[in-house]
Amino acid sequence: MLGLGELEMKVMDVLWASESPLRVRDVLERLTGDRDPAYTTVMTVLDHLHTKGWVTRSRHGRAYHYVPARSREEAGAGLLREVLDSSGDAESVLLHFAESVSEREYRLLRRALDRDERRDEKP
């Protein structure tokens, strides 16, 4: 996702997959990949994610417990909103995006737009 480095994205994937808050050690144990980062590296990444507003944390004893500030879907929608707002030409961005969607994605968008139209028609 925009604004996230490779390890930050992996850490967010771990947090989004969890149903409960995680400590640094919990995140470290669940990370997968070619290399195992150090505990302090994961701690620093989580601190950066907190500073950037991607995660919230609460202290339990001596350790912080981390949770995503938004769901993966909310984060994706927020990034799309940022792209549209900063593009200078949201219409062109949306048209290019619309040309790239799959048939399934088209049906989802059509359903959402139809739902919004029906909502707007109600008195």
Q: What is the pTM of this model?
A: 0.80
The enclosing H or E element of 2 equals: none
CA gap 82, 40 in Å, rounded: 31
Burial of 22 (0-12, 13-18, 19+ CB in 10 A): buried
Amino acid letter at 60? H
User: For 61, which DSSP code?
Assistant: T
pLDDT of 120 reads 65
Here the tokens at position 88 are 């200078």
* The dihedral formed by the CA atoms of 37, 52, 3 and 91, expressed in degrees to the nearest 10: 160
Q: How confident is the model at residue 2 (pLDDT cuts 50, 70, 90)?
A: low
Whether residue 99 has pLDDT greater than 70: yes
Q: How confident is the model at residue 123 (pLDDT cuts 50, 70, 90)?
A: low
Give backbone dihedrals phi and psi of 115, rounded to 5 degrees, phi first: -60, -45
User: What tens digit of pLDDT does each residue of 54-71 get?
Assistant: 999 999 999 999 999 999
Whether residue 90 has pLDDT greater than 70: yes
Q: Average pLDDT, stretch 11-28?
A: 97
Higher pLDDT, 117 or 40: 40
pLDDT of 1 reads 60
pLDDT of 117 reads 72
The SS3 assignment for 69 reads coil
Give backbone dihedrals phi and psi of 121, rounded to 5 degrees, phi first: -75, -20
